[in-house]
Structure 1
Amino acid sequence: MKRLACVSLLAVLAACGSAPVGPGFYRVERGDTLSKIARSSRQSVQSIVRWNNLANPDSIEVGQVLRVAPPGNSAPITSATASSGARSSSRGGVAAAPAPRSAPDDVSPSPTPATSISLIWPANGTVIRRFDGSSSKGIDISAAAGTPVVAAAAGTVVYAGNGLRGYGNLLIIKHNADYLTAYAHNRVLLVKEGQSVTQGEKIAEVGDTDTDRVMLHFELRYQGRSIDPSRALPAR
């Protein structure tokens, strides 16, 4: 039963997981580029950028869910007709699938919490990426390897391991019925599943597992959906 509970909690972090997505959507995998995704789905890069409101086409993340079929009844812009003149792929893609009426759960708008939680910063460092609700489900904090990672609030460790692709050595702490926090890419984990922790207690050390730079990726989830952690963190 304990393992089943952990599996359910891992599913909450679908942003970088492998949960299936609906027709007309694609989950980014390691090694993907927007051009590669466009070719395989027989769409243009411009269309995918527009459908997903991508600010930077060169910045997509493993686990990110992209729309690769036109929303509603709009006609697709294929790579054969795109102004870039890129050559279309002969492989079939998901573009022919009907677009879903609503986006998958992991790209739905963030909920407005009915309750609040007060957090402390989980690590000392510089915020290099902020929450945007789509390509970034949390904040990234750059710090030296070995920098202490502390519990942002008191709670119980419900996951400690590296079984979720894209997160490296990961800790998940459940604070109450509504809130949990996640701490990813740690060099070492210092607490175990089932262990109670206090706010500010050292739980890990900053590292670079399953990422290309030393940093802490920190997420706050409310009823299973990602929300902006900075709203619950003290101003710096």
Structure 2
Amino acid sequence: MLKLLTKSSVFISVLLLAGCFGGGNYAPVVERQERVSVASDSHKVARGDTLYSIAWRYNLDFKGLARTNGIKAPYTIYPNQLIRLKDSGSGNTQAKTKSRSVTPSAKAKTTKKTASSTKTQSTAKSVSSTVALNRSSYPFRWKWPAKGKVIRRYTSGSAVHKGIDLKGKLGEPVHAANSGKVVYAGSGLVGYGNLLIIKHNEQYLSAYGHNSRLLVKEGELVKVGQKIAEFGDTGTDKVKLHFEIRRDGKPVNPLGLLPKG
């Protein structure tokens, strides 16, 4: 009888201990879910990021992203700065952003101001730069970024493909599909390899991915048809050019804008 009681006591103790340790595993799961939820509403700036590349990553309009975070042109951001991806509706966004102390040496990327706009107000700067950019690309006609055959088309819905893929050989030229300003040059966006993003006006941006070499730098003005990169296979399994066009932050079908044939 004594042995039976002893065994029962040991069994009950084991069950109690298992319950204690097992129950302790639930809290970290909840915490991880909360962290994911918070992270989906913000982006922590990494070195090499630009406001344009962050907007591109999350399919957002760069103008709206700038407004949400109280960031004015030329849209300078800094490593470790927290960029809010969704507008909370608070009127204090700009004040909160300005109150943060960030040293200039920690700058991620910046777009240089043009000499002609240094003495004008911020609103005038935005308008004048837009007009200048539009004039530089007038008439606003797209050209093919490469001569290769389309090997994958733009698709939306469940099997989304935000642009087109063009066939080519390693080192073949990639051209600017329209005139504009280089607002991102790097490899920080997963799945794009060595990537260029060009701003054509306040609505349209284009992107060129998987390049072996980038021949232009951020802040550089380029003309339609100018050689800007070379075909490569960075970030993918074969040599190709991935080409996208976005209007107000949303992907559009490049084949609807590029010349036929």
Structure 1 regions of 5+ residues with no counterpart?
A: 17-115
Counterpart pick for 1:10 among 49, 53, 74: 53
Separation in 2, partners of 1:15, 1:127: 26
Decide whether the 8 Å contact of 1:6 with 1:158 is kept in 2.
Answer: no
Decide whether the 8 Å contact of 1:130 with 1:139 is kept in 2.
Answer: yes
Separation in 1, partners of 2:234, 2:143: 23
Give the TM-score, by structure 2 length: 0.49
Question: Aligned to 2:233, what secondary structure does the other structure show?
Answer: coil
Deviation track 1:80-112 (CA, whole Å, cap 9, x = no partner) reads: xxxxxxxxxxxxxxxxxxxxxxxxxxxxxxxxx
Show the counterpart of 2:150.
Answer: 127
Judging by fraction of residues, say which structure has more helix.
2
Q: What amino acid is the match of 1:154?
A: S
Q: What aligned pairs does 1:73-222 form with structure 2 within 5 A after superposition? A: 117-134=140-157, 135-222=160-247
Query: What CA RMSD, in Å, does the superposition of the two structures yield over aligned residues?
Result: 2.4
Decide whether the 8 Å contact of 2:142 with 2:258 is kept in 1.
Answer: yes
**1:124, distance to aligned residue in structure 2 (A):** 1.0
**1:13, distance to aligned residue in structure 2 (A):** 2.5
Question: Aligned to 2:150, what secondary structure does the other structure show?
Answer: strand
Show the counterpart of 1:232.
Answer: 257
Question: Aligned to 1:230, what secondary structure does the other structure show?
Answer: helix
| Identity within the alignment, % | 51
Decide whether the 8 Å contact of 2:196 with 2:209 is kept in 1.
Answer: yes
Question: Aligned to 1:213, what secondary structure does the other structure show?
Answer: coil
Q: What amino acid is the match of 1:168?
A: G
Decide whether the 8 Å contact of 1:124 with 1:147 is kept in 2.
Answer: no
Tell me the matched-pair count. 136
Structure 2 regions of 5+ residues with no counterpart?
A: 1-45, 60-138
Question: Aligned to 2:255, what secondary structure does the other structure show?
Answer: helix
**1:7, distance to aligned residue in structure 2 (A):** 2.9
Separation in 1, partners of 2:238, 2:256: 25
Separation in 2, partners of 1:194, 1:230: 27
Structure ID, larger Rg: 2
**1:160, distance to aligned residue in structure 2 (A):** 0.5
Decide whether the 8 Å contact of 2:181 with 2:199 is kept in 1.
Answer: yes
Decide whether the 8 Å contact of 1:167 with 1:184 is kept in 2.
Answer: yes
**1:173, distance to aligned residue in structure 2 (A):** 0.3
**1:11, distance to aligned residue in structure 2 (A):** 2.5
Question: Aligned to 1:11, what secondary structure does the other structure show?
Answer: helix
Give the TM-score, by structure 1 length: 0.54
